[in-house]
Structure 1
Amino acid sequence: MASLAEFALEWTSWIGTLIATVVAVVVVSVIVIGVRFVAGRARGRSAWIADLERRIRVPGMTLAFVIAAWIVCATTAPASLSWWPVLDRLLLIATVLVGAWLLSTLVTFGMERLMQYDSRKDATSPEARRRQTQLTVLNRLAVVLVGVIAVGVVLFSFPEVRAVGTSILASAGVVSIIAGLAAQSTLGNLIAGVQIAFTDAIRVGDVVVIEGEWGRIGEINLSYVVVYIWDERRLILPCTYFTSQPVESWTRRSDKILGTVYMDLDWRVPVDAVREKFMEIIEGSDAWDRRSAGMVVTGSEGGHVTLRFTVSSANSGDQWDLRCLVREKVMIWLQQEHPEALPVTRVMLDRPA
């Protein structure tokens, strides 16, 4: 019995702390190596397991070592020291924050797997873009929620903060009014971000015209939206913009779109010949989806006539290319075959009496 008591007392010494630390490091290392081995064996059959292991490797190892250090310190010599409460609080805070990091990584991985699975089935339809947008916003909301809860747990681990929290809750009416006035813009953007995601107003990948700029919705965050402009610029707008301002969408229900080309020509333009040449041009282009095409005279004012060419395409990119093609080919053909159709300015001079 005496030998057992002496053995038990050894763990409260610094030698016992050193031994416990070595044991903890070995145990955690074996667990990490085992997880990596299993993930490596499963990589050929399930690629997502290897991806998951790669993502959680750093936060998982950090959490395991922090918990191991906490257990070692709580059961050995540091637990009897005067500064142990401070170290205990620091280890608790580290455990909570690293655990939140690991949980956020798992949530993000799960959401991305859902988005990848959904995109493999359907990646271009409006319904698919709506689901992608909602999953993206839900992912960011979940990560923010995990972070807020972790910070709250850390703060409320201090008795002083709990006392302050009780006082704040007692005067919640006044505090809520002050907070609402101070954070009106921020909260408005957060609410607008959630509203955008679940009302299907805009979706990631939608083609839009905003502030006179043509581009695609590239990112929808909780407080702002990033529009990818065609010339590689980025237009960043608050979420409240999309709930209070009109937005021109080219892909609301479908990517298919009609486009027009206008030309101001002379009255001598051979309309039938131009119409025939126009059809020849679009029939030779893969950008025309053969849904609609036509040419009509829409104006005859100001000394010229206006010809409107209408073409349809499967998406806005093909539509842009097709309109440029029609404009260029018709212009070159008129220059070569019917120069009299090009617009001219006529001036009549009265002869002196």
Structure 2
Amino acid sequence: MFDELPDVVTTLVTAAVSVVLALVLVQIVHIVVRRIGRRAPLFDQLATRLHRPVQCLAVVLAVQGALHATTATGDWRGPLLHGVTVLVIASGAWVVGALLLVLEDTALARFRTDVENNKTARRVHTQITVVRRVTIAVVVVVAIGAVLVTFPAARAAGASLLASAGLLGVVAALAAQSVLGNVFAGIQLAFSDELRLDDVVVVENEWGRVEDITLSYVVLHLWDDRRLTLPTSYFTTKPFQNWTRNESALLGAVEIDVDWAVPTEEMRRELRHICEGTDLWDTRACILQVTDAIGGLVRVRALVTAKDAPTLFDLRCHVRERLVQWLRESYPEALPRSRADVTGIPGLRIDKVEGLNGHSIPEQPERVPGAGAAGRALPPGNVPDASRDARVFSGSVEGRERSAAFAGPTEEDHRP
């Protein structure tokens, strides 16, 4: 043992010197890359993410080179070389993984998702996010395989495993059918453009935004800050609503049940006044229609548009509040009422009509056609075109475009 002591000391000194030189060289390169990174973001990312992995790889390579450079012999040399080889493989995998992350982050930085009409950016972010997880998994698996190959026993076992790979593959596929299904579903979602990050969806009667897409599950950030986690295979096997499939702008409805005495034309003008008085409306559609009239109530539906789902929700609430307030203050006789035929009861005299809440409805003064809430006639220039605000699929450019989208091709489209 004492005969091997000089060789051990020589090896340790050589390894120490090599490690110091390697660390100094890595530090010099790090400083140079960091200075270049002040003008180029890519080099700044390289200096940040690759510094520690490259240091680790340089140290183990220096130790391995020192061991090969010395002529030391002994029982300790073989296991030490094998351990250093394993560390070299692990450090190399760390460097490769960090380099892939830098490249993916650089690609993501080119596509901003905090702007309007970010469909392409969200698709790229979704694909790169899924590819990142796949590449990291591949690097880890390859590194583990390379480490196992360095063991003679593992190589011998690998030959026998290859002989029965077909049977093992069938058994593994049956045992992990749901797991593999989710993995392939995640890849399909990333490259089929069916679902993207930041898409607004309605799933299981829950409205939320796609926060994360992995190879096995999808995380939805719901409107009330809850998180809904679903397997990726859910989105390839079951229907769901995607409100931002092509664009974020949406059309929403506000329905109100009123009495038959409701003045629809004046209510339509009030809806236009409400929409024009808020910045939530995107000026595309402001339509009021009577969609149902059964029994003692009339159902009025207001259709309004906004740039995205959150804005549309606030706009619908705003329109609903303002219309209810307008009906209550200007046309209380249009509020929902219950009627009863009591004319055949002897001695009974009807002096007033009561609403659903028991309050009497005062008589209203006669109004001039086309008048506003106060009964005064509006100037001709202030009365909007009624047909524009009363039609969903006609009467305006937007209405005709909406009609063409749902009507299909016409005879003119087939003419040569």
Distance 2:283 2:313 in 1: 16
Distance 1:109 1:345 in 2: 69
Q: How does 1:153-192 map to 2 (within 5 A)?
A: 153-192=146-185
Say which is worse superposed, 193-202 or 64-73, in terms of deviation: 64-73
- The change in CA–CA distance for 1:25 and 1:162 in structure 2 (over 3 A counts) is closer
Q: Is the 1:250–1:257 contact (alpha carbons within 8 Å) kept by the matching residues of 2?
A: yes
* SS in structure 2 of the partner of residue 179 of structure 1: helix
Larger radius of gyration: 2
Q: RMSD over aligned Cα, in angstroms?
A: 2.4
Q: How does 1:249-288 map to 2 (within 5 A)?
A: 249-288=242-281
Q: Is the 1:295–1:310 contact (alpha carbons within 8 Å) kept by the matching residues of 2?
A: yes
Q: How much does 1:162 deviate? A: 1.5
Residue 352 of structure 2 corresponds to which residue in structure 1?
none
Distance 2:62 2:138 in 1: 27
Residue 229 of structure 2 corresponds to which residue in structure 1?
236
Residue 78 of structure 2 corresponds to which residue in structure 1?
85
Residue 314 of structure 2 corresponds to which residue in structure 1?
321
Selected match of 1:305 from 294, 298, 307: 298
Aligned amino acid, residue 70 of structure 1: Q
TM-score, with structure 2 as normaliser: 0.77
Distance 1:262 1:49 in 2: 57
Q: Is the 1:123–1:129 contact (alpha carbons within 8 Å) kept by the matching residues of 2?
A: no
Q: How much does 1:244 deviate? A: 0.2
Distance 1:265 1:196 in 2: 45
Aligned amino acid, residue 27 of structure 1: L
Q: How much does 1:75 deviate? A: 3.6
Q: Is the 1:104–1:146 contact (alpha carbons within 8 Å) kept by the matching residues of 2?
A: yes
1:108 maps onto 2:110 in alignment: no
Q: How does 1:5-24 map to 2 (within 5 A)?
A: 13-24=7-18
Distance 2:270 2:113 in 1: 41
Q: Is the 1:122–1:128 contact (alpha carbons within 8 Å) kept by the matching residues of 2?
A: no
Aligned amino acid, residue 272 of structure 1: E
* SS in structure 2 of the partner of residue 27 of structure 1: helix
Selected match of 1:150 from 138, 143, 150: 143
Aligned amino acid, residue 136 of structure 2: V
1:224 maps onto 2:217 in alignment: yes
Distance 2:127 2:116 in 1: 14
Residue 405 of structure 2 corresponds to which residue in structure 1?
none
Distance 1:36 1:312 in 2: 54
- The change in CA–CA distance for 1:123 and 1:334 in structure 2 (over 3 A counts) is closer
Selected match of 2:325 from 301, 320, 332: 332
* SS in structure 2 of the partner of residue 119 of structure 1: coil
Selected match of 1:44 from 21, 29, 38: 38
**Structure 1: stretches of 5+ with no match in the other structure:** 1-8
Q: Is the 2:7–2:73 contact (alpha carbons within 8 Å) kept by the matching residues of 1?
A: no
Distance 1:265 1:133 in 2: 46
Q: Is the 1:313–1:319 contact (alpha carbons within 8 Å) kept by the matching residues of 2?
A: yes
Distance 2:341 2:93 in 1: 83
* SS in structure 2 of the partner of residue 13 of structure 1: helix
Q: How much does 1:310 deviate? A: 0.4
Distance 2:10 2:97 in 1: 36
Distance 1:121 1:235 in 2: 23
Selected match of 1:344 from 334, 337, 340: 337
Say which is worse superposed, 312-321 or 40-49, in terms of deviation: 40-49
Q: How much does 1:210 deviate? A: 0.4
**Structure 2: stretches of 5+ with no match in the other structure:** 348-416
> How many corresponding residue pairs?
344
1:35 maps onto 2:9 in alignment: no
- The change in CA–CA distance for 1:186 and 1:41 in structure 2 (over 3 A counts) is same
Say which is worse superposed, 219-228 or 122-131, in terms of deviation: 122-131
Say which is worse superposed, 180-189 or 93-102, in terms of deviation: 93-102
Residue 3 of structure 1 corresponds to which residue in structure 2?
none
Moved over 6 A (4+): 120-123
1:198 maps onto 2:198 in alignment: no
- The change in CA–CA distance for 1:137 and 1:262 in structure 2 (over 3 A counts) is same
Provide the identity percentage.
40
1:62 maps onto 2:56 in alignment: yes
Aligned amino acid, residue 107 of structure 2: L
Cα deviation code 1:41-70 (max 9, x no counterpart):
223312331222111111111111122222
Q: Which has the higher contact order (CA 8 A, sep 6+)?
A: 1
1:25 maps onto 2:13 in alignment: no
Aligned amino acid, residue 188 of structure 2: Q
* SS in structure 2 of the partner of residue 263 of structure 1: strand
Q: Is the 1:12–1:76 contact (alpha carbons within 8 Å) kept by the matching residues of 2?
A: no
* SS in structure 2 of the partner of residue 80 of structure 1: coil
Q: Is the 2:200–2:210 contact (alpha carbons within 8 Å) kept by the matching residues of 1?
A: yes
Q: Is the 1:226–1:234 contact (alpha carbons within 8 Å) kept by the matching residues of 2?
A: yes
Q: How much does 1:11 deviate? A: 10
Q: How much does 1:308 deviate? A: 0.3
Q: Is the 1:11–1:75 contact (alpha carbons within 8 Å) kept by the matching residues of 2?
A: no
Q: Is the 2:113–2:121 contact (alpha carbons within 8 Å) kept by the matching residues of 1?
A: no
Q: How much does 1:311 deviate? A: 0.9
Selected match of 1:210 from 203, 223, 231: 203
* SS in structure 1 of the partner of residue 111 of structure 2: helix
Q: How much does 1:194 deviate? A: 0.7
Cα deviation code 1:306-351 (max 9, x no counterpart):
1100011222222112111101111122222222222233455685
TM-score, with structure 1 as normaliser: 0.90
